[in-house]
Amino acid sequence: MIMKVYCKTALSKSKIPGIDYSLNPYIGCQHACIYCYVPSMFNIDFNEWKKPKVKKNIPNVLMKELRKKKRGIVGISTSTDAYQPLELKYEITRKCLNLLLKHGWSIDILTKSKNVLRDLQIIKKFDSAKVGITITTFSNEKWEGGSKAEERLEAIKKFANEEIFTYIFFGPIFPLMSDEEIEYCIEEFISSNVDAIVMDKLHLKKGLLNRLKNTYPDEFNEMKKALLGNFYERAFKKVFEIARGRIKVIKAWD
Min dist CB 68 to ligand SF4, Å, is 28
Which range touches ligand SF4 (CB under 6 A), out of 27-35, 94-102, 205-213, 235-243? Answer: 27-35
CA dihedral angle for residue 39, residue 233, residue 145, residue 211, rounded to 10 degrees: -50
Cα-to-chain-centroid distance, residue 32: 12
Q: Tell me how crowded residue 204 is: count the other CB atoms within 10 A of its CB.
A: 15
Asked if residue 27 binds ligand SF4 (CB under 6 A), the reply is: no
Residue from 29, 99, 107, 239 binding ligand SF4 (CB under 6 A): 29
Residue from 11, 38, 54, 173 binding ligand SF4 (CB under 6 A): 38
Min dist CB 195 to ligand SF4, Å, is 21
Asked if residue 33 binds ligand SF4 (CB under 6 A), the reply is: yes
Asked if residue 55 binds ligand SF4 (CB under 6 A), the reply is: no
| Residues 170 and 143: beta-carbon distance below 8 Å | no
Asked if residue 52 binds ligand SF4 (CB under 6 A), the reply is: no
33-46 burial by CB neighbour count: b if 16+ within 10 A, else e? bbbbbbbbeeeeeb
Output phi, psi for 108, to 5 deg: -140, 105
Asked if residue 81 binds ligand SF4 (CB under 6 A), the reply is: yes
Asked if residue 152 binds ligand SF4 (CB under 6 A), the reply is: no
Residue from 59, 132, 145, 171 binding ligand SF4 (CB under 6 A): 145
Asked if residue 212 binds ligand SF4 (CB under 6 A), the reply is: no
- Residue (72 or 85) nearer to ligand SF4, CB: 85
**Measured between alpha carbons, how far is 125 from 129 in angstroms, rounded to an integer?**
9
Asked if residue 131 binds ligand SF4 (CB under 6 A), the reply is: no
State the DSSP string of 108-161: EEEES-GGGGGGHHHHTT-SSEEEEEE---SS-TTT--SS-HHHHHHHHHHHHH
Q: What is the largest CA-CA distance in the chain?
A: 54
Contacts of 68 (CB under 8 A, 6+ apart): none
Min dist CB 152 to ligand SF4, Å, is 11
Query: What does DSSP assign to residue 80?
Result: S
Mark 102-121 with x for binding to ligand SF4 (rule: CB under 6 A) and - for no binding: ----------x---------
Asked if residue 20 binds ligand SF4 (CB under 6 A), the reply is: no
**Measured between alpha carbons, how far is 48 from 32 in angstroms, rounded to an integer?**
10
Residue from 10, 27, 32, 97 binding ligand SF4 (CB under 6 A): 32
- Interface residues with ligand SF4 (CB under 6 A) are 29, 31-33, 36, 38, 80-81, 112, 145-146
